[in-house]
Chains A and B, each alone.
Chain A
């Protein structure tokens, strides 16, 4: 089955892509860039680098820009999926939704309207077990945004590894922070993993942080051999 994977460049979409590639024929990635940093549906930090990540994974990328208004951005998502249907003949869509009923409901409705299959291979995953598997499979990701107390500036640009996961588990117990950032507490950017033919090297980045909210903005990145 030919599938398009909704792709933000973060850990959830990369892991969903990994699972989809194990089972079916992924013919393209679909990326929505939102002008609204508070987007309900679409992850925003470093979204401009999805093209570089798609090149690293050796898959074509269908992109679409949205203003990011709450329900209007769903029309734009539908347009992007229709574009992928036309250009890559996809029969289904894969999302990295884990626990968000808001996100999955809207993607399911769009696919249903378009007569497409819809797959959510991370759906209802145990958060800690998912993170352990992500790390053990060799995915390399950095924290590209923090949006909740008690994250300080040092979290920005930090690698997602076992030590980071252990600290996230402690924050989960103390402050109910989701260890996968499911509540929007943090965002990630994936540089490497088992589906990457080349890895993304971050050459230049800066941190912008204030009051427990900040982003790790990647200004320059390049592909390097693994």
Chain B
């Protein structure tokens, strides 16, 4: 089962349609999934999940950064995690990285700087961006992709934890599919 986490300012918000349902529609084609708001995640949810996807939020919605204690489970989780935009920022904060102000809105060229199965086979592609913050990773992470403005994809060096700044649900569904196809432990 894949756990899809709604990162929005409140449960069952207007953002659910925009940032969570499009990801669920991609996952639905191949896998079972559950959607939960970050405020309601419990130990059972985490233990029963083969993979976890942390979704994005509205541009003005950074409320999740005030509730980092809800994401402490990321430190112990052994299975693959994909953080999208807000999800990437949470992964970064929980695992000791910095957040800085970097804004991109709309389509941006992404350059792959290190090959990995998540972005396999591509050298560059255009992706949809919607962020005012970005991540400065620690040495625990490797950088997989960049734009002219900021780091676009990171992967933890010892765990299958990924962060992507662009929104793959727009024109790049293949990234989510690659994540779904990762082995449970990798």
Q: Is the CB of A118 within 8 A of B60?
A: yes
Chain B: interface residue count, which band? 20 to 34
> Does A154 sit at the interface, judged by CB under 8 A?
no
Q: Is the CB of A119 within 8 A of B107?
A: no
> Does A24 sit at the interface, judged by CB under 8 A?
yes
A to B CB contacts below 8 Å, 16 in the list = A19-B17, A20-B14, A23-B14, A101-B171, A111-B59, A111-B60, A112-B60, A112-B103, A117-B59, A118-B60, A123-B17, A123-B18, A123-B22, A124-B25, A125-B21, A125-B22
Question: Which residue, of B12, B59, B107, B171, has the highest number of chain A Cβ atoms within 10 A?
Answer: B59
Q: Is the CB of A109 within 8 A of B14?
A: no
Contact residues in B for A108 (Cβ distance below 8 Å): 59, 105-106, 130
> Does A65 sit at the interface, judged by CB under 8 A?
no
Contact of A101 among B12, B59, B60, B128 (CB under 8 A): B128
Contact residues in A for B22 (Cβ distance below 8 Å): 123-125
Q: Is the CB of A119 within 8 A of B105?
A: no
1/0 per residue, CB under 8 A from A, across B45-77: the answer is 000000000000011110000000000000000
Contact residues in A for B107 (Cβ distance below 8 Å): 101, 105
Contact residues in A for B18 (Cβ distance below 8 Å): 119-121, 123-124
Contact residues in B for A101 (Cβ distance below 8 Å): 106-107, 128, 170-171
> Does B132 sit at the interface, judged by CB under 8 A?
yes
Q: Which of A2-26 contact B (CB under 8 A)?
A: 19-20, 23-24
Q: Is the CB of A122 within 8 A of B59?
A: no
Q: Which residue on chain B has the smallest CB distance to residue A123?
A: B18
Q: Least Cβ distance of B75 to chain A in Å?
A: 31
Apart from A20-B14, A108-B59, A123-B18, list 11 A-B contacts with CB within 8 A: A92-B60, A101-B170, A108-B106, A109-B106, A117-B59, A117-B61, A118-B59, A124-B18, A124-B25, A124-B169, A125-B21
Q: Which residue on chain B has the smallest CB distance to residue A94?
A: B14
Q: Is the CB of A116 within 8 A of B60?
A: yes
Q: Is the CB of A124 within 8 A of B58?
A: no
Chain A: interface residue count, which band? 20 to 34
Q: Complex Cα distance A23/B17, Å?
A: 11
Q: Least Cβ distance of B181 to chain A in Å?
A: 21
Q: Least Cβ distance of B10 to chain A in Å?
A: 9
Q: Which residue on chain A has the smallest CB distance to residue B19?
A: A123
Q: Least Cβ distance of A74 to chain B in Å?
A: 13
Q: Complex Cα distance A109/B59, Å?
A: 10
Q: Is the CB of B14 within 8 A of A105?
A: no
> Does B115 sit at the interface, judged by CB under 8 A?
no
> Does B15 sit at the interface, judged by CB under 8 A?
yes
> Does B13 sit at the interface, judged by CB under 8 A?
yes
Q: Complex Cα distance A124/B17, Å?
A: 9
Question: Which residue, of B21, B61, B105, has the highest number of chain A Cβ atoms within 10 A?
Answer: B105
Contact residues in B for A94 (Cβ distance below 8 Å): 14
Q: Complex Cα distance A109/B169, Å?
A: 19
Q: Least Cβ distance of A58 to chain B in Å?
A: 20
1/0 per residue, CB under 8 A from A, across B7-34: the answer is 0000011110110011001000000000
